[in-house]
Structure 1
Amino acid sequence: MKRSFSIALGLLIVLNLVLSGCSTKAPVATEAAPAATEAAPAATEAAPALNKDVTITWATLAGFYTDWAKKLADEFTAETGIKVNIVEMDLPTMYEKEVLDIVGGTGAYDIITWNVSWKAEWANNEYIYPLDDFIARDSADVDFNDIPSALEAVSGQWKGKTYGLPYYTFTPGIFYRCDLFENADEKAAFKAKYGYDLDIPQTYDQMADIAEFFSRKAGDTLAGKTISNDFYGIGVMAGRYTNIFDEVNTIAWTIGGDVINDDGTPGVNSDAYVKALKLYVEKLVPHAPTGSLSGSYDFVISQLNTGLIAMTGPMYLDQWANAVKAEDNIPGAEVCAAPLPGIGKTWAGAFTLGIAKSSKNVDASWQFLKWITGKKAQLAFAQGGGTTTRKSILSDINFAKEHRKTAGHFPVVSYILDNASQCWYTNYNYVVEAAKIYEEAPAWLSAAASGEMTPEEAMNGFAAKINEFCNGKCQILNEGVTKPAADNAACTSWSFDRSLQIRK
């Protein structure tokens, strides 16, 4: 984005202040956000008359998300007269740029986009507006009950207030080659070796078995055909990116591990968490393609749609439109989406929108925020290949069938989110230092995956950094949050309705 020299200089000064006593991984400003120039309306007030001769600025993720947003922003402008300037950012730099603007009070961004792990810090430090009065005033437009509760809880709510609305979910599951899993020869060979039926893995030990089973060398047979290249059982995101933290967490949560223990001490060096990391390092990574130690999600999806792997590990289901390209590239291939082991004990992840406290166009910003996250815009997003955050669209089987190439995963995502609302809880979501922890995690997890450190060494080092970030025990600000019931059968036994899979 083009900026004047004076603004750039101001931001550099703020950057120096913010970073002076903080980690360079994910700086946390120590000063409060400036008071905004507009107050949020009381719930009983009518919507004020809008100044339509205004331009609001939305800071958001570059790429497909922005391509879609530009088209819809033009529609919004045509309807309301309010212009929308979209500033594209890469995810690794988005956090820093948005925080600098809010703390500096420049008001460069009105609407900001955040990842799940940033919410606690931003809401707790009052960097963003609470939206409850807006939502109450415009309840019919928002239709809050149409947003999956698991998504809204993790991405938009803090201490009983709502600070953002999700607009794009990357909730994970797995993609797998159902043509291979259902091949009669492969099923017979698998059962003879492991003693149970080849199917969607219900535990991570089963995932490890399947990864081992499908690993083949050039010259071996796969589904009755001799292969000319090596074939791998699984694709993993083991590079030094935050994706590896998402993968290991989904394993740890199913066996009782967590990033932060109930007493606020680090949980990453607990027996359960280390066990999860060992399974990942020792049983999944060895059966992934060469280069996985530097790969991210796009690397894994490329492996799937070029015929290198039988399944992914924990993978963001919003990648369905890319994953299903395997069916065009590989004769006879069919890709299916399914829940992970643990089903609901997984990230209910979403990119979320809120209004920066430094915004000088609060009401106009709210008009766009509720519009872009509303049903009309979300339906257009879904039709174009985006993974919506609206329950009514995600659960629409007919829509998924009609748009299989872009929305074939929707019913599976809906199922996972329904289970997550009952089963998923992590203390990590309720500590203000979550953003710092999230950015720090890849250094230690990737060191374990590559063999640079043992899992125990890596997690002890990670735990020490968490203690440093929290200045001792982390404070878990989860008052009023209901944890999943320990005896809830939906959270302890794996089940899945196969009719939710939209097949070829």
Structure 2
Amino acid sequence: MIFSFGVTSHIVEAQFSLAQIPPLENKQPLTLVAEKGFWTDYLQQQLLPKFTAQTQVPVKVISLSLDDMYQRQTQSLLAGEGQFDLLTMEAGWAKEWASNGYTVPLNELAQLYDPLGEQSIDHYLEPYYASLLNILSYRNQIHAIPYNNYVMGNHYRADLFEHPQEKAAFKARFDYALAPPIDMQQLLDVSEFFTRQAGEKLAGKKLTAPFYGVALMAGNRPHINDEFSAILWSLEGNWLKPHYEAQALTLFTIAANNPPLAQAAGIYRKLRTFAYPTDANFAFEQAANAIAQGHVAMWPFAYNNLWHASYAVEANVEGAKLNVAQVPGGKPYNGAYAFAVAYDSKNPRAAYWLLKYMGSYQAQYDYALGGGNPCRADVVLSTQLAKPEHRSINGAFTASHKANIAWAKNINQQGHFTSSAMGRIYPELTTACYNLANPNNDIDTQVQLLQQRILEIQNHYGEVPAIVK
């Protein structure tokens, strides 16, 4: 089932406020997992004190890194410890946790605890992007509310792309106009073109240090997988392909040789020769800093929720102007962090109302003002946030909106977003991509190793089988 919730046709400000929370008899404290960083600070300083003041229900925050979040929560859920009332998930884990019964469907919670029942939650979700709700759904039921959307965009130095000398030099060399790349060959061309040594000129000025065409998240961290995914999907490839009968998922196939993945690996290796130097720990923070400090011409697979970080280049580099385009190939990695109520919550009624409050229009609006990338179209398209003085936070909103709308129709075609074993497969993809990016490793061997691991994990932990074809 593909959820639409009206976002593509009209925007409904489905407002929700603390005043709508009914009296809660159970005052037992809630425990909430949140990712370390700005969102945790925002919760503790802004949202949660207001919730507690309204309901007299205290909320404790367990702040974890993404690397620890999956294992820590999964272990607790498997044991039924009731340790966490509200879970934080990366969207790729949603179907795995739902299929194991770890998360409670939102419509079930609404039937139990909301005076208006399912109608209330349906209306509440109307402004959310269908692409995100589809990822977070399981068997036609939505299990989580997203709060941080990290759809990708190309953050690029518009001042360099628009410089007359650079435009003329590029046209003379490649015989087409310099612009943000729309496919993989253009990405390689533009990356090579902007890679310069100290002493060479860039936009008419002599460089005092090397300059690079791209920033890549090429470390042994989960984010290299997201870059590989964007490239692979643009080549019409996949990690595993879902098959349906009467709209029911019945099978996954894994390509025997996977030529698109081998091609993606070759492209990534070439890109690394034009990329800002990385190490095993290099990920999104370092990539954002590379463009913010003026070391690269573009971050082609940037998370748009880091626009605010990339935008610092305009303050750090004289004359710099940052802009955003769709990722090369037009198939960005998409996803979100989301909250869900745990099946073993000791106070599920209060957890449900806190969940709705954290995803409310005002909460998402305030989150956007802090530099986050919202998951609600009514916030993204807010006329107040669209004001020029907010460009440091809204600069990628339009690009994110277009990417989310485009993804809504395609989510169910990607095994990455439909497998109930993706929480276990995802780390294997990270390891495989890091190995594939290493020019010392044989690409075909690494592809075969990954194929075998996906096959084993899907058939052991997934709900439907996988075969090599």
Question: Fold match, TM over 0.5?
Answer: yes
1:240 is matched with which residue?
A: 220
Q: Distance in 1 between matches of 2:76 and 2:460?
A: 29
Maintained 8 Å contact 1:467/1:474 = no
Maintained 8 Å contact 1:52/1:80 = no
Q: What is the SS of the residue equivalent to 2:385?
A: helix
2:14 is matched with which residue?
A: none
1:308 is matched with which residue?
A: 295
Give the residue type in structure 1 aligned to 2:100: N
Q: Distance in 2 between matches of 1:267 and 1:301?
A: 34
1:259 is matched with which residue?
A: 239
Q: Distance in 1 between matches of 2:184 and 2:279?
A: 19
Q: Is 1:461 the counterpart of 2:449 in the alignment?
A: yes
Superposed CA deviations along residues 105-144 of structure 1, whole A, max 9, x for unmatched, are: 2211100000112112100010111111345726457621
Maintained 8 Å contact 1:59/1:86 = yes
Maintained 8 Å contact 2:170/2:176 = yes
Per the TM alignment, residue 292 of structure 1 is displaced from its structure 2 partner at its CA by 5.1
1:87 is matched with which residue?
A: 62
Q: Is 1:288 the counterpart of 2:278 in the alignment?
A: no
Q: Which moved more, 1:222-231 or 1:76-85?
A: 76-85
Q: Is 1:147 the counterpart of 2:121 in the alignment?
A: no
Superposed CA deviations along residues 261-298 of structure 1, whole A, max 9, x for unmatched, are: 3452334841112111211112x111012225641111
Equivalent residue in structure 2 for 1:231, among 189, 211, 220 = 211
The runs of 5 or more residues in structure 2 that have no matched partner are 1-19, 111-115, 243-250
Q: Is 1:322 the counterpart of 2:302 in the alignment?
A: no
Q: Distance in 1 between matches of 2:57 and 2:79?
A: 25
Q: Distance in 2 between matches of 1:274 and 1:268?
A: 12
Equivalent residue in structure 1 for 2:178, among 188, 198, 208 = 198
Per the TM alignment, residue 388 of structure 1 is displaced from its structure 2 partner at its CA by 1.3
Superposed CA deviations along residues 190-248 of structure 1, whole A, max 9, x for unmatched, are: 11111111111111211111000000011111001111111000011111111111001
Give the residue type in structure 2 aligned to 1:227: L
Q: Distance in 2 between matches of 1:85 and 1:62?
A: 14
Equivalent residue in structure 2 for 1:272, among 245, 256, 260 = 260
Give the residue type in structure 2 aligned to 1:111: L
Q: Distance in 1 between matches of 2:97 and 2:355?
A: 18
Give the residue type in structure 2 aligned to 1:153: N
Q: Distance in 2 between matches of 1:439 and 1:265?
A: 19
Superposed CA deviations along residues 282-328 of structure 1, whole A, max 9, x for unmatched, are: 2x111012225641111111111111100013111111111101111
The runs of 5 or more residues in structure 1 that have no matched partner are 1-45, 479-504
Maintained 8 Å contact 2:459/2:465 = no
Maintained 8 Å contact 1:265/1:474 = no
Give the residue type in structure 2 aligned to 1:470: Q
Q: 1:238 to 1:113 in 2, by over 3 A?
A: same
2:403 is matched with which residue?
A: 416
Structure with greater proportional strand content: 2
Q: What is the SS of the residue equivalent to 2:299?
A: coil
2:30 is matched with which residue?
A: 56
Maintained 8 Å contact 1:179/1:332 = yes
Q: Distance in 2 between matches of 1:47 and 1:59?
A: 22
Maintained 8 Å contact 1:264/1:474 = no
How do 1:410-489 and structure 2 match up within 5 A?
Answer: 410-424=397-411, 425-471=413-459
2:326 is matched with which residue?
A: 339
Per the TM alignment, residue 385 of structure 1 is displaced from its structure 2 partner at its CA by 1.8
Q: 1:49 to 1:226 in 2, by over 3 A?
A: closer
1:381 is matched with which residue?
A: 367
1:98 is matched with which residue?
A: 73
Identical aligned residues as a percent: 28
1:10 is matched with which residue?
A: none
2:13 is matched with which residue?
A: none
Matched residues, number: 430
Superposed CA deviations along residues 441-497 of structure 1, whole A, max 9, x for unmatched, are: 22221122122312222111111111221348965599xxxxxxxxxxxxxxxxxxx
Q: Which moved more, 1:132-141 or 1:197-206?
A: 132-141
Give the residue type in structure 2 aligned to 1:330: V
1:391 is matched with which residue?
A: 377
Q: What is the SS of the residue equivalent to 1:313?
A: strand
Q: What is the SS of the residue equivalent to 1:265?
A: strand
Q: Is 1:178 the counterpart of 2:153 in the alignment?
A: no
Give the number of the structure with larger relative contact order, counting CA–CA contacts within 8 Å between residues 6 or more apart: 2
The root-mean-square deviation of aligned C-alpha atoms, in Å, is 2.2
Q: 1:222 to 1:196 in 2, by over 3 A?
A: same
How do 1:38-53 and structure 2 match up within 5 A?
Answer: 49-51=23-25, 53=27
Q: 1:193 to 1:427 in 2, by over 3 A?
A: same
Q: Distance in 2 between matches of 1:148 and 1:162?
A: 13
Q: Distance in 2 between matches of 1:302 and 1:80?
A: 41
Q: 1:49 to 1:398 in 2, by over 3 A?
A: closer
Q: Distance in 1 between matches of 2:383 and 2:396?
A: 10
Equivalent residue in structure 2 for 1:164, among 144, 168, 189 = 144
2:107 is matched with which residue?
A: 132
Q: Which moved more, 1:415-424 or 1:227-236?
A: 415-424
Maintained 8 Å contact 2:160/2:203 = yes
Q: Distance in 2 between matches of 1:396 and 1:477?
A: 44
Q: 1:443 to 1:231 in 2, by over 3 A?
A: same
Taking structure 2 as the reference length, the TM-score comes to: 0.87
